[in-house]
A = this chain, B = another copy of it.
Amino acid sequence: MTNSWATFGADLHLETTGAAGLRAGLMDALRDAVRTGRLAPGTRLPSSRNLAADLGIARNTVADAYAELVAEGWLTARQGSGTRVAQRAEPRRPAPRVPPVRPVRARSAHNLMPGTPDLSSFPRAEWLKATRRALTVAPNDAFGYGDPRGRVELRTALAGYLARARGVYADPERIVVCAGFVQALKLLGSVLRKRRIREVAVESYGLDVHWRLLADAGLHMPCLTVDGDGARTGELAALRGAGAVLLTPAHQFPTGTPLHPDRRAAVVDWARATGGLILEDDYDGEFRYDRQPVGALQGLDPERVVHLGTTSKSLAPGLRLGWMVLPESLMREMTDAKGFSDWSSSALEQLTLAEFIESGAYDRHVRAMRLRYRRRRDELVAVLAQRAPSIRVSGIAAGLHAVLELPEGGEASALRAAAWQGLAVEGLSRFRHPDAEPGRDALVIGYGTPTDSAWAGALDALVRVLA
């Protein structure tokens, strides 16, 4: 017996010192032995005195390890029968092994996928400064369970910023801070469903992840045709069941046009007449190049529009910080929904963003990025005019992406060519709603995505695909 038990000591003496370390090491070794079946259920263990002698360690260390493992349920200690490996039911056969979840897309040499800003531009030093200030001035209660709506410091900073930069009619009492647009839509979907709304109209081009979020909440999604003036909001009148509509008014995603003023008016009229809600996805409202940004739709009727924004395009998606400016009538339900989803967003990051905005660093960063993206857009347009002059470029007044119109059937062949060039890029059809009419062939080019140093190579690869 001595030999078989002494093997438990092999690992111990190598790695640990002190009674606590030896005890932990012995416990690990015994747990492993039980787990792997080396020690069968019911096996009687040597007395602590004997095992201690075998291992050359103090008896108390062994006795303590035994006691812990009894408390944890690995061993049993019964009067008269000593210490034994616990009897336990056979485990059920584990389910077949699921392959580890990994990002689906293989690495490409060049990346012009839309939807992500230039991640190398994240203002690390400025963000650290804001973090330092936030950690210095935060009251103790910031570290506790806080208001589900978010910290008042951030809601106040956002109200000021959104009024100034986006024409939002904002009141800190009407803002709920959330973890990006995904969470906002998830929470809105659940609240709409609880209100017995069954349909939310969407644009005929958009992101399938958003549609899936609404579908998960049990909502149906009839779609509004998107044309050169944005979504045809007049079609809402024919959708009797729709209790809300999800729109990208400042810059339709992905076609890139702002919603026509008449259609802005029409959707507000629809909301007023039917009591419907407008969900305004203002995902890249800051980035307009050829004139001032188009103001938010929300200002037209703050009681009927939910204004949704994030830092995902302006700073980084990895921050997972977003906000909802809500009608009064939704505040209680949405605050509850947020609280019962994750209680609140991280207080420290909220305070950091508040500092970042109030110090002017946010405005400076947005201005600098606007110049950078605008330069890239101009280069894209110029290079295509020169080297692929038959391609029409659209949706370029704003945002981080452009649409390149292709001849009929051109999308599939361009995507094949892109794969050969190691260029990650999306076709427009990828963003088409399942109920939408078949549409034009096009590529959606995320010119905001590459780092500055990767941009020239990506642009070159794109030209090779299209030439």
Write out the residue numbers on chain B whose beta carbons fall within 8 Å of the beta carbon of A328.
94-95, 97-98
Within the complex, the shortest CB–CB distance from A15 to chain B, in Å, comes to 12
Q: How large is the interface on A (under 10, 10 to 19, 20 to 34, 35 or more residues)?
A: 35 or more
> In whole angstroms, what is the CA distance A148 to B119 when docked?
18
> In whole angstroms, what is the CA distance A71 to B261 when docked?
5
> In whole angstroms, what is the CA distance A127 to B138 when docked?
13
Which of the segments A1-9, A85-93, A388-396 contacts the partner chain?
A85-93
Q: Known pairs A94-B329, A186-B340; list 16 more (Cβ under 8 Å).
A: A64-B292, A72-B167, A76-B265, A88-B268, A89-B272, A91-B304, A92-B272, A101-B147, A127-B135, A128-B131, A140-B451, A179-B343, A318-B346, A318-B348, A320-B347, A348-B349
Asked whether B135 lies within 8 Å of A128 as measured between CB atoms, the reply is yes
Number of copies of this kind of chain in the complex: 2
**Residues 280-299 of chain A, each 1 if its beta carbon lies under 8 Å from chain B, else 0:** 00000000000110111101
> In whole angstroms, what is the CA distance A103 to B301 when docked?
29
Most B CB contacts (10 A, CB to CB) among A88, A135, A183, A348 go to A348
> In whole angstroms, what is the CA distance A330 to B148 when docked?
29
Asked whether B319 lies within 8 Å of A348 as measured between CB atoms, the reply is yes
Residues of chain A in range 333-361 having any CB-CB distance to chain B below 8 Å: 335, 340-349
Closest to A176 in B: B101
> In whole angstroms, what is the CA distance A144 to B116 when docked?
7
> In whole angstroms, what is the CA distance A121 to B106 when docked?
45
Asked whether B295 lies within 8 Å of A340 as measured between CB atoms, the reply is no
Known: A91-B301, A272-B89. A68 touches B143 (CB 8 A): no
Known: A89-B269, A346-B319. A182 touches B340 (CB 8 A): yes
Write out the residue numbers on chain B whose beta carbons fall within 8 Å of the beta carbon of A20.
292
Determine if A376 is an interface residue (Cβ-Cβ < 8 Å): no
**Residues 91-122 of chain A, each 1 if its beta carbon lies under 8 Å from chain B, else 0:** 11011011011110000000000011001101
Residues of chain A in range 295-334 having any CB-CB distance to chain B below 8 Å: 295-297, 299-301, 303-304, 316-321, 327-329, 331-332
